[in-house]
Amino acid sequence: MPSTSFTAEELAQRFGLRLHGDAATHVDGVGTLARAGASQLAFLANTKYRGQLAQSQAAVVVMREDDATDYERTALVARDPYAAFAKISALFEPTRVRDPGTHASAAIDPSASVDPSAHIGPFVSIGARSRVEAGAIIGPGCVIGEDCVVGAGTELIARVTLVTRVRLGQRVVVHPGAVLGAAGFGLAMEAGRWLNVPQLGGVLVGDDCEIGANTCIDRGAIEDTVLEEDVRLDNLIQIGHNVFIGAHTAIAGCAAVAGSARIGRYCLIGGAAGVVGHLEICDKVIVTAMSLVTSSIREPGEYSSGTPLMDNRSWRKNAARFKQLDSLARRIGSRGTD
Amino acid sequence: MPSTSFTAEELAQRFGLRLHGDAATHVDGVGTLARAGASQLAFLANTKYRGQLAQSQAAVVVMREDDATDYERTALVARDPYAAFAKISALFEPTRVRDPGTHASAAIDPSASVDPSAHIGPFVSIGARSRVEAGAIIGPGCVIGEDCVVGAGTELIARVTLVTRVRLGQRVVVHPGAVLGAAGFGLAMEAGRWLNVPQLGGVLVGDDCEIGANTCIDRGAIEDTVLEEDVRLDNLIQIGHNVFIGAHTAIAGCAAVAGSARIGRYCLIGGAAGVVGHLEICDKVIVTAMSLVTSSIREPGEYSSGTPLMDNRSWRKNAARFKQLDSLARRIGSRGTD
Amino acid sequence: MPSTSFTAEELAQRFGLRLHGDAATHVDGVGTLARAGASQLAFLANTKYRGQLAQSQAAVVVMREDDATDYERTALVARDPYAAFAKISALFEPTRVRDPGTHASAAIDPSASVDPSAHIGPFVSIGARSRVEAGAIIGPGCVIGEDCVVGAGTELIARVTLVTRVRLGQRVVVHPGAVLGAAGFGLAMEAGRWLNVPQLGGVLVGDDCEIGANTCIDRGAIEDTVLEEDVRLDNLIQIGHNVFIGAHTAIAGCAAVAGSARIGRYCLIGGAAGVVGHLEICDKVIVTAMSLVTSSIREPGEYSSGTPLMDNRSWRKNAARFKQLDSLARRIGSRGTD
């Protein structure tokens, strides 16, 4: 399979890394430290895996200066070995060809416009007044509704739905099953029945964002739901209407952000974490997995909620005491909080 | 864009609201209190936003009597400004045309029946013995399996799957990616391997329900999974087999209801909340976000579980103590519960 | 509807169960204990439902020896009544016919191979070098990308996406909306922007696995994401890249397993539970619903986290005290843990 091959020296030069060891060492693929073959490149970023270095068969290992000092084989030294590895391994990524042009089966509204350099796959439907820009790739089974824009170089992998008024910037990647622009969950109760609040806004997604598989981003009620540039959403995430997410924020799988919440830039929201609606999280906040944010966060830092995992028997005993916590505290003379 | 326009007086009459201020004030769209333009209508429902009233550019604001007393510009007075706004803003919702008829690409089983007034979009497949009633809209890429019914005026927006034995009432809306009628998760272990328990039931969805994007409702094992009328489900919700959900209950995104749970009417289940199987929740119960219901709830009211968010350092200290809670309680002389 | 009919004696013989009562009792379908009709078979497995036995109309009830002793009507006695019921009820499952052959609308790459005995439904696309083996069923709207394998007898119900390098074993069932093989969430930060780490691995799914609706299994970064045989995943589950799940493990809906976690065999992971990345869970571990596993589990057993549900007023008081837990503990003279 590997037809691509590089020497350690070529890689060092191409990516600006310091070469340690044999410049002529030959690399034709990548592998994990534990299982890389004798012509593969691996990396050591997490010190937890340092013990694997001695037995590794890898031809070349990308590592930090510290780790390289005593290393007797070939290494590429990087300040951030993981980032360096990411760039090197891209050399070995199989290229997929998506020729320009529209599959014969596609159902495209006459008022929609598709750049001739775009690729439109089979079973794609594109609604009125929507636009697909240069070099965009619309994979099989995608549904693009009305008044949407797919920016240049953006890719909808497959089976993505843009419901209506969704504007994607350039080089955005949307994974299969994602639904952008569905009506937000806006309800008012009247005379004992739910009344739908029209969702007149859209969804605005900045350049270089990535939206995970089966993730949902609802359109805004009046104004737009907004993702600034370079926002990264993992799979199965729910983003409510009128949420705003600042540039470079990354959110892990199964997280949920309720309507009108505002999340700053460079935040990291952990898997299955929740953010309730109508609050603000400032820049550079980390929320750990499965934590629930119930009020605004105004200081950068790491935040958590929840309790530690225990064997079920111990957990039952301790959890039962949680119900007595206030009375226990009173008994030992502590005043209540808030 | 706005071609629709109304005076404040016209709106007051049409929706039975009291007019405050200039009857001739002209409205051609809606906006938020903070950003509405000078010919737009906004609303004030949440007192948290009252401070925005003075600077608002909105031509007309829908508000409560109390807020209107001192208001010097034009207002429409409503007991429930949010519900009134919902109805007014519907006037400005862009209308989508879905002509009756079946797209040439649709694959419809000869034994299925489609009302001539229904709209069947591109790449739709409809299985044996299924029926689509008058005025229903089946958007692009939907899959309707065998023995399903789509009631009059019901809309499957796009890429919805009804697997088998799913009967939707009238005026139901199902958002993209939702999967109704997949086999419930019924497993028995035998001789060290899983055995599938056949899922012979279906899914019954009452009139006026709404099912969010990528939400899943499994079909029943023996009897049906049931949603009564006017149930509202947000996105990415899991409803297990044989669940019963009473009329007018609303469930927020990412919640999960396990098999055979019974939820009453007029309940509100918060985002990412969980309900374990085989229990009952009575009418008018509120479960807050990310809470887990592990036993039946027999009294209306609001219920919660979980711990408050803290900075990670404090959280670590306190969470570690959770493991000692029972011994701490014993030490101060409290007897165990349950 | 029921055209199939069996006597109690026939069922006892076919499934190796002890007959109690009238051998000639006639059964033409299945029902729940509470609502089975007079010619239906029901089961009693959960002692919680024993009270329903007296009033049940069921012709035959599958039950344990203990329950049968005093039972005056017809029963089939099984060590595991639920497993026995599963097998009996399969007799009454409607059979779906999926004829061999490829629907005219399907878009199949010339380099893909499809066994003539396989069924390929409408609007299916199959990419380069993929292979569909004997008797496989690819339902409507499925997208199979490049370099995938669908094993013999495997069924993709509808609208399933296999992105790339996904190899499914034999007799696997994948429910609608599931996405296998999307790029894992691998990011490195460089100069203030996210850099994608190429996801060069695939997904390997063993024989007899079942993957729920809208569940996502990401492809590995370097090596594969792996499910051994007979793994059962419910709906809306997230499986991160390079996760390994041992044979016969079952995971309930909305659970999330982060990248590179390793889960053993015969584990049961509860609904909405979370497993953080890069840890190991040994065989035969039960994690209860909505619990979060944050470090490796080396002993079989049942594990939990979280707090009990309370009325919101009580919860607020107790939850506020959680923030004081460490200082309360110090006050009563307990030393800190870890």
- The DSSP annotation for C105-140 comes to T-EE-TT-EE-TTSEE-TT-EE-TT-EE-TT-EE-T
- The verdict on a CB contact (< 8 Å) between B289 and A218 is no
- CA B125 to CA C56: how far, in whole Å? 41
What pLDDT sits at residue A168? 98
Q: Are C179 and A235 in contact (CB under 8 A)?
A: yes
Catalytic residue among C20, C119, C241, C248: C241
Q: Which residues of B touch A218 (CB under 8 A)?
A: 213, 235
Provide the shortest C-alpha distance from residue B207 to chain C (in Å): 24
First-to-last C-alpha distance (Å) of chain A: 64
> Could you read off the pLDDT of B239-272 as tens digits, one per residue?
999 999 999 999 999 999 999 999 999 999 999 9
**Is residue B244 classed exposed, middle or buried when 0-12, 13-18 and 19+ CB atoms within 10 A define those classes?**
buried
Closest chain B residue by Cα to residue C35: B223
**Dihedrals phi, psi of C116, to nearest 5 degrees:** -60, -20
Determine, for residues C186 and A86 on separate chains, whether the beta-carbon distance falls below 8 Å.
Answer: yes
Tell me how far apart the alpha carbons of residues B36 and C212 are, in angstroms, rounded to a whole number: 44
CATH number of the domain located at residue range(s) C6-92 in this protein = 3.40.1390.10
- Show residues of chain C in contact with B287, CB under 8 Å: 309
Candidates B62, B123, B251, partner chain A, best to mutate (most A CBs within 10 A): B123
pLDDT of residue C337 exceeding 80, the answer is no
Please give the residue of chain C at the shortest CA–CA distance from A83.
C188
Q: Per-domain residue ranges for chain A?
A: 6-92, 101-303
Residue A337 scores a pLDDT above 70 = no
Select from A125, A197, A292 the Cβ nearest to the Cβ of B121: A125
Between C95 and C66, the more confident residue is C66
Label residue C336 by pLDDT band (50, 70, 90).
low
Kindly list the partner chains of chain C, i.e. chains with 3 or more CB atom pairs below 8 Å. Answer: A, B
pLDDT tens string A297-307 = 999 999 999 99
Give the ipTM: 0.96
Which one of A52, A88, A214 would you mutate to disrupt binding with C, by most C Cβ within 10 Å of its Cβ?
Answer: A214
Q: What percent of chain C has pLDDT over 90?
A: 94
Percent with pLDDT over 70 in chain A? 98
Chain B interface disruption, residue of C179, C211, C216, C236, most B CBs within 10 A: C236
Residue A338 confidence class, pLDDT cut points 50, 70, 90: very low
pLDDT at A95: 83
The answer to whether A188 contacts B83, with C-beta atoms less than 8 Å apart, is yes
Nearest-Cα distance to chain B for C77, in Å, is 16
The CATH code for residues C101-303 is 2.160.10.10
| B328:A328 CB<8 A | yes
Cα gap C194→C96, rounded to integer Å: 48
Question: What whole-number distance in Å separates Cα of residue B26 and Cα of residue B60?
Answer: 8
pLDDT over 70 percentage in chain B: 98
Residues of chain A in contact with residue B105, where contact means CB-CB under 8 angstroms, are: 105, 107
What pLDDT sits at residue A335?
A: 58
Of the candidates C320, B326, B308, which has an alpha carbon nearest to the alpha carbon of residue A326? C320
Active site residue B278: no
Q: What is the CA radius of gyration of chain A?
A: 25
Q: How far is C7 from chain A (nearest CA, A)?
A: 45
Written as one letter, the residue type at A145 is G
Q: Which of B122, B312, B315 lies closest to A107 in CB terms?
A: B122
Mean pLDDT of C249-253: 98
CA distance C112 to chain B (A): 22
Round the average pLDDT of chain C to a whole number and report it. 95
Answer yes or no: is pLDDT of B337 > 60: no
Contact assessment for residue B48 and residue B33, using Cβ atoms and an 8 Å cutoff = no
- B6-92 shares its CATH topology with B101-303: no
